[in-house]
Amino acid sequence: MTHRCTRRITYALGLLLVAATALGPPDALLGPATVLLAQGGPITVLSRDGRRTLPAVDVQNHQMVGLDDLATLFQLQVREDAAARAVTASYKNQTIVLTPDQSLVSASGRLVSLPAPLTRRSNRWLVPVEFISRALAPIYDVKLDFRPQSRLLVVGDLRVPRVTAQYDESPSSIRVTFQITPRTTATVTQEQNRLLLHVEADALDASIPPAPSQQGLLTGIRATDPTTIQMDLGQRFNSFRTSPATSSGAASVLTVELLAVPVESTVAPTPPGGVTTPGAPGAPTAPGVATGPVPPTDLPAFGSSRPTIRTIVIDPGHGGDDAGVKGPRGAVEKDVVLAIARRLKGVIEGRLGMRVLLTHQDGKLIGADARASIANNNKADLFISLHANGSPRPTTRGVTIFTLGLDRFGEDARRQSRADRAVLPVFGGGTREISLVEWELAQAAHLDGSNAFAGIIEQRLRATAGLPTVTLQRAPMRNLAGVNMPAVLVELGYLSNPDEEQQMRSADFQNSVALALTEAVSAFRDHLELSPQVAPAP
């Protein structure tokens, strides 16, 4: 599964704040005779000791907190000096002097102005919340970071990034874009019927809007434990993928795309933009169709400057610390696909006499770009990435063959506003114009070949390996985008399906898949060599 290709991290501090203790309800603050209005709710105080609640009330449009509550939270000594008409709050050797009904406060001899005065209500002293950052923080020996917007007070050097989310919907998918400020490492994992975004932090300042109303794909989203955002998956959920996190100013941006179960009979929708196909808008085989099932392409003659295949790069998915999908009986994606990759290398070398390179041998994890670089630097003629899939539904099964879909990348490229326009020749004499960032251009020039190869693989997996369910899909896969040659990513089955898990571990299955893929390579080579070459457009 490609989402697992994102780098995995371990996080040590995630459980620091699990013990959440709240102070008692603010009953004492809201005596029956008062005219205080609770507004905005309490302030959450995060520290190494846990999570506490600081009640806040509204007095004449000012958010006020009790000096006694602050004394409890911050070990302040509060004294009332009736003779001097003053209230003092001391911490260690430092003292804040307040005067009733006055907005000026002395913090260790320094005068500080508050937006509202010290106020007496129901035998308690109230100060505006700004007291914390303006008067208390300067004398306190631990950092106090008050965030009015999220009503959060962070005590000490805790990492509490702000996390926001936005949604982009299509008929077959929902994309959730998380923005994490400041930049913070985050990973996505799947646990049964939910996806978990783990942020490498001590707690989250999360502001997550409700999930879109689209039924059956994403049914809920919320912050759960202090460092996790949980996405609840609906019945239509099939798989997901994440983009590598990118930086946008001070923030990390991570997208999670939830894909619906393919509907076999549906014609792929016309892309919303990003790719223009003169003369064939919305045609089923139009390049750049959105994520979703696409009919097998006929084998269009591949008018390329590569008349044959000499070198193949096989990319076993995952590796190193990144195990990929794990099956219910213990099969591990990285091991299964590496075993198949090695068999495939042997069969291709033995039968076709081609040079075959593997991107890695499970020594350590390498990223998508490094895998593409290995293929590009070795001037390979064909790139095959091997994966196994995972689904929360144990009955989900079948092979999926991916080629690069351009539409979403085009969208991203425009958003990043560093798009270059490119006009790519298309077989048959036309051109198509696409907007892409640099690293995406490589694969875009080979999509006809990639789609032709995917169609051949589909035939061979059915005919030679006897696999009944093989789906072709185009998707904006980072794994393929930078590859400068025809490229496919094959999910060889679902490790989450116990039957397919057992099958994928068997030598019989691995050999028959290696044979089918070798036949596909051979057929694709014939196709390249025998196709009439198209003269370049003048």
CA distance 472 to 25: 58
Question: In this structure, which amino acid lies at residue 294?
Answer: V
Asked whether the CA dihedral 32, 36, 37, 42 is positive or negative, the reply is negative
Binding region for Zn ion (CB under 5 A) out of 36-44, 110-118, 313-321, 444-452: 313-321
**If DSSP states are collapsed to H, E and C, what string results for 96-114?**
EEECECCCEEEECCEEEEC
In the stretch 366-405, what mask flags binding to Zn ion with x, by CB under 5 A?
A: ---------------------x------------------
Query: Which secondary structure element, helix H or strand E, spans residue 46, and what is its range?
Result: strand 43-47
Query: Of these, 271, 317, 410, 486, which contacts Zn ion (CB under 5 A)?
Result: 317
Q: How many beta carbons lie within 10 A of that of residue 223, not counting itself?
A: 18
Q: Is 1 a binder of Zn ion (CB under 5 A)?
A: yes
Q: Which is nearer to Zn ion, 57 or 489 (CB)?
A: 489
CA distance 178 to 163: 7
Is residue 161 within 8 Å of 182, Cβ to Cβ? yes
Is residue 107 within 8 Å of 139, Cβ to Cβ? yes
The least distance separating Zn ion from the CB of residue 190, rounded to whole angstroms, comes to: 12
CA distance 317 to 386: 6
Binding region for Zn ion (CB under 5 A) out of 9-17, 23-31, 62-70, 318-326: 318-326
Q: Which is nearer to Zn ion, 4 or 360 (CB)?
A: 4
The least distance separating Zn ion from the CB of residue 284, rounded to whole angstroms, comes to: 28
Q: Which is nearer to Zn ion, 66 or 324 (CB)?
A: 324
Q: Which is nearer to Zn ion, 324 or 476 (CB)?
A: 324
CA distance 7 to 5: 6
The least distance separating Zn ion from the CB of residue 160, rounded to whole angstroms, comes to: 32
Q: Looking at the DSSP assignment, which residues form a beta bridge with residue 163?
A: 180, 206
Q: Which is nearer to Zn ion, 355 or 393 (CB)?
A: 393
Q: For the chain, give the longest Cα–Cα distance.
A: 104
Cα separations in angstroms, 381 against 125, 426, 454, 474: 77, 19, 15, 20
The least distance separating Zn ion from the CB of residue 318, rounded to whole angstroms, comes to: 6
Q: Is 223 a binder of Zn ion (CB under 5 A)?
A: no
The least distance separating Zn ion from the CB of residue 317, rounded to whole angstroms, comes to: 4
The single residue listed with the structure tokens 């003048």 is: 538
The least distance separating Zn ion from the CB of residue 194, rounded to whole angstroms, comes to: 19
Q: Tell me the three state secondary structure of residue 439.
A: helix
Q: What angle do CA 518, 496, 289 make, to 5 degrees?
A: 60
Number of residue whose CB is nearest Zn ion: 387
In the stretch 70-89, what mask flags binding to Zn ion with x, by CB under 5 A?
A: --------------------
How many residues touch Zn ion under the rule CB under 5 A: the total is 5
Q: Which is nearer to Zn ion, 317 or 449 (CB)?
A: 317
Q: Is 478 a binder of Zn ion (CB under 5 A)?
A: no
Q: Is 152 a binder of Zn ion (CB under 5 A)?
A: no
Q: Token digits for 407? A: 């539409």
508 Cβ partners below 8 Å, 6+ apart? none
The single residue listed with the structure tokens 């006055």 is: 102
Binding region for Zn ion (CB under 5 A) out of 2-10, 17-25, 38-46, 186-194: 2-10
512 Cβ partners below 8 Å, 6+ apart? 464, 465, 466
The least distance separating Zn ion from the CB of residue 504, rounded to whole angstroms, comes to: 12
Q: Which is nearer to Zn ion, 161 or 317 (CB)?
A: 317
Q: Is 324 a binder of Zn ion (CB under 5 A)?
A: yes
Q: Which positions lie near Zn ion, rule CB under 5 A? A: 1, 4, 317, 324, 387
